[in-house]
Structure 1
Amino acid sequence: MTPSDEVLLRTLVPQVIGVLVRRGNDFAAAEDAVQDALIEAVRHWAEHPPRDPKGWLIGVATRRLIDAARSDQARRSREQRVDHFPAPGPTEREDDTLLLLFLCCHPSLSQTSAIALTLRAVGGLTTEEIAEAFLVPLGTMAQRISRAKRTIADVELGPTGDLASVLRVLYLIYNAGHGGRVDLAAEAIRLTRQLASGHSEPEVHGLLALMLLHHARRRARFDADGRLVTLDRQDRSLWDTGEIAEGVRILQQALAANHRGEYQLQAAIAALHDDAPTAEETDWAQILEWYDELVSLADNPIARLSRVVALAHALGPDAALAELETLEPVVGERHRYFAVRAYLLEQVGDLAGAAEHYATAARRTTSIPERDHLTRRAATLRHEAREG
């Protein structure tokens, strides 16, 4: 099977599952039948490529469902429903992938279950690939996916769903990291593109723009030794200008709808960072304005901490430290609070205090690259404080 066939299969998997579920089949049974069809595709497509790949997969998967129904007397009624469906034709709906995406992100699922099921059923990843990406045992991930299927077994595949849940799951997939063989950030972008192609909601396009504007910096994010490089120290010649241009274009179209949301505002901030030729030329005053709007719209702790950093650059570290004091009761246990406080103390010359807070942040973060970076920063400042 050629690489192009593999890409085609990953695209078709959610469409075929969607067709089968929409016809009244159980989600888990449909997904199992499609996996059987994929095995047959691997065996036969190299020598006998089908003229209609999607129809071929639907036909094979349908026969698997019929065989399963015939072997189980309790599922005779399902056999009758499936057996009388006509062969797939041009009347099949084109939005089955999006319907399946909404089903996999159903609010009844936990975030971890929704992420796993989305990557499995819509992304077409194997359970092994997903387990490897999230650094969990294969058995644990298999159980997680099985539980998710059982949870939504009685949920109908319908034209509506919770868009906020879908966007949240896609963004969590994007931020999950790059462990294993699969680039989850790239996979999240691919899935969000599919959603954006069939959805006019500005926030969908805002999320896609946000992902692209962040993803454009990926080559500069780590040095040759695999160490994290902060935004202000990155080699901007490594940034993907094509992705930046696409992200800005999508963002401008979303903002033109004048229905702003959290993802659009975050994307606007990312666009300003990407637009600056150097860190020193960053338009912090405008970034602060966008953060003001973001905090007023979605008053979440991360946004408020990020606004403090923008405030430090726009108005000075003393003003930012005063603002940070007001946030301690809300975010004082988060590692990012200690990292921001360390950064501000470093700006005002308190190197010993900054080192202490960087070390605390390092102990509290769950990200290994970030922990290593914070630990190195603490060690550097301790040395400078002693030398000074």
Structure 2
Amino acid sequence: MDPTSDEALLRSLTPAVIGILVRRGADFAAAEDAVQESLIEALRVWPDDPPRDPKPWLVKVAWRKFLDATRAEESRRRREERLEAEPDPGVGGAVDDTLQLFFLCAHPSLTPASAVALTLRAVGGLTTRQIAEAYLVPEATMGQRISRAKRTVSDVRFDQPGDVSTVVRVLYLVFNEGYSGDVDLAAEAIRLTRQLAAHTDHPEVAGLLALMLLHHARRPARTRPDGSLVPLAEQDRSRWDTRLIAEGVQILEAALARDRLGEFQAQAAIAALHADARTAEETDWVQIVEWYDELVRITDSPIARLNRAVAVGEADGARAGLAALAPLDPSLPRYTAVAAYLHERDGDLATAARLYADAARAATNLAERDHLTRQAARLNVRR
């Protein structure tokens, strides 16, 4: 078997196998540990001796790992007596616990960082090392974070109703991390959101998936070979992935038709309007402003208001954009960069150059800092 396909298959089976162990009586933390060990065993054994049916194989090995880990405890005897007639592993998988696992890993009692880490490990099937590398932290640190998260939710009933909105926010956080280490977190977030969409009929899950696909479609054009950022207006749109765009638009249209508008559907609608424009000049900024109005109505988010100011500047002119920007808090992320852009559009190059330089000094992302520094230098040369 191909090692890459083995790993993808194992990751896709992880939540179902954890669910089966929990249904059999294992607590979540112990089940997750046992499944991780079974994944390592599979990667070792499968290349030379692939199973006929991978899921029962994983269940059997994970259950054995779990029993081995608890054999020294008094509870071991009760569990083994209760489960002496061990059911066939395939039968245990008849109940699909994937959705409940999503809910558990995104439980409100967890911090966003802990929810992300636990979701990537328990639902995504990633190793602690992979997650640590993706988030640029030591493996020991990530291991402690995951262990604390599992302890936090140890008393939560596995079949307790969950909150879809919490899950989609966790997946959105994963998507926005992009790429680091040997894990493409944007692609992983899309995979997990597809999985969530297959288990719940919720328009905001569809909206999030559409948003991810539409943003991911522009990824090939977003950076130059040297790693520098390419602004949306300057991107080579022939490099956008039209297949992903078409899929994202189709998913979004179906979600919007249900008339249960949410913030991710509104964001996806904005992304779809950008994707629909053959050139930057053909962008329907008036309609984009209308969608930002909806987004602000739903969320009252300062970031949505900031992005709306940019759209207003494009639709109604730089002065109107600056007027929309004026009431906002200057400490908002990207506020200074937006102000610089609008002042440049208004012809005030000196102020724009100063603000671009200020924004560059405040930027935490190296590529963004470089881009803003270049913008300041460009205007200083023109003055």
TM-score range for the pair, normalised by the shorter chain length:
over 0.9
Structure 1 segments of 4+ aligned residues over 3 angstroms from their partners = 74-85
Residue 174 of structure 1: how far off its partner (Å): 0.2
Offset from partner CA, 1:141-165 (integer Å, 9 cap, x none): 1111111111111112116201111
Query: Which residue does the alignment assign to 1:235?
Result: 236
Contact 1:177 1:184 in 2 (8 A): yes
Mapped pair 1:325 → 2:295 = no
Contact 2:107 2:162 in 1 (8 A): yes
Contact 1:335 1:361 in 2 (8 A): no
Residue 177 of structure 1: how far off its partner (Å): 2.2
Mapped pair 1:179 → 2:180 = yes
Offset from partner CA, 1:49-72 (integer Å, 9 cap, x none): 222211111111111222222222
Query: Which residue does the alignment assign to 1:345?
Result: 343
Mapped pair 1:377 → 2:375 = yes
CA–CA separation in structure 2 for the residues paired with 1:384 and 1:93? 68
Mapped pair 1:300 → 2:313 = no
CA–CA separation in structure 1 for the residues paired with 2:82 and 2:292? 54
SS in 2 for 1:326: coil
Query: Which residue does the alignment assign to 1:63?
Result: 64
Matching of residues 30-41 of structure 1 within 5 Å: 30-41=31-42
Contact 1:106 1:114 in 2 (8 A): yes
Residue 39 of structure 1: how far off its partner (Å): 2.7
**243-252 vs 24-33, which moves further:** 24-33
**286-295 vs 91-100, which moves further:** 91-100
Unaligned runs of 5+ in 1: none
* AA of the residue aligned to 1:28: A
Query: Which residue does the alignment assign to 1:250?
Result: 251
Matching of residues 43-122 of structure 1 within 5 Å: 43-73=44-74, 75-90=76-91, 92-122=93-123
Residue 45 of structure 1: how far off its partner (Å): 2.1
Contact 2:303 2:332 in 1 (8 A): no
Unaligned runs of 5+ in 2: none
SS in 2 for 1:160: coil
SS in 1 for 2:334: helix
1:312–1:19 Cα change, 3 Å: same
Contact 2:99 2:200 in 1 (8 A): no
Contact 1:69 1:79 in 2 (8 A): no
* AA of the residue aligned to 1:129: Q
CA–CA separation in structure 2 for the residues paired with 1:13 and 1:250? 26
**93-102 vs 278-287, which moves further:** 93-102
Residue 166 of structure 1: how far off its partner (Å): 0.2
CA–CA separation in structure 1 for the residues paired with 2:96 and 2:379? 55
Residue 79 of structure 1: how far off its partner (Å): 4.1
CA–CA separation in structure 1 for the residues paired with 2:311 and 2:89? 55
Query: Which residue does the alignment assign to 2:358?
Result: 360
Residue 85 of structure 1: how far off its partner (Å): 4.2
Matching of residues 282-301 of structure 1 within 5 Å: 282-301=283-302
**TM-score scaled by length of structure 2:** 0.96
CA–CA separation in structure 1 for the residues paired with 2:334 and 2:272? 22
CA–CA separation in structure 2 for the residues paired with 1:235 and 1:81? 63
* AA of the residue aligned to 1:161: G
1:77–1:360 Cα change, 3 Å: farther
1:117–1:91 Cα change, 3 Å: closer
Residue 293 of structure 1: how far off its partner (Å): 1.2
Residue 334 of structure 1: how far off its partner (Å): 1.9
Matching of residues 11-26 of structure 1 within 5 Å: 11-26=12-27
CA–CA separation in structure 1 for the residues paired with 2:341 and 2:127? 41
Contact 2:17 2:93 in 1 (8 A): no
CA–CA separation in structure 2 for the residues paired with 1:187 and 1:256? 27
1:369–1:22 Cα change, 3 Å: farther
* AA of the residue aligned to 1:365: A
CA–CA separation in structure 2 for the residues paired with 1:37 and 1:326? 55
Contact 1:346 1:354 in 2 (8 A): yes
Contact 1:66 1:83 in 2 (8 A): no
Identity %: 63
**209-218 vs 374-383, which moves further:** 374-383
Contact 1:358 1:378 in 2 (8 A): yes
Offset from partner CA, 1:177-196 (integer Å, 9 cap, x none): 21111110000000000111
Offset from partner CA, 1:182-225 (integer Å, 9 cap, x none): 11000000000011112111111000000000000000000011
Contact 1:292 1:307 in 2 (8 A): yes
Residue 312 of structure 1: how far off its partner (Å): 0.6
Query: Which residue does the alignment assign to 1:124?
Result: 125
* AA of the residue aligned to 1:101: F
**TM-score scaled by length of structure 1:** 0.95
Query: Which residue does the alignment assign to 2:156?
Result: 155
* AA of the residue aligned to 2:182: R
CA–CA separation in structure 2 for the residues paired with 1:348 and 1:28? 57
CA–CA separation in structure 2 for the residues paired with 1:305 and 1:276? 22
Query: Which residue does the alignment assign to 2:140?
Result: 139
Query: Which residue does the alignment assign to 2:260?
Result: 259
Contact 1:284 1:310 in 2 (8 A): yes
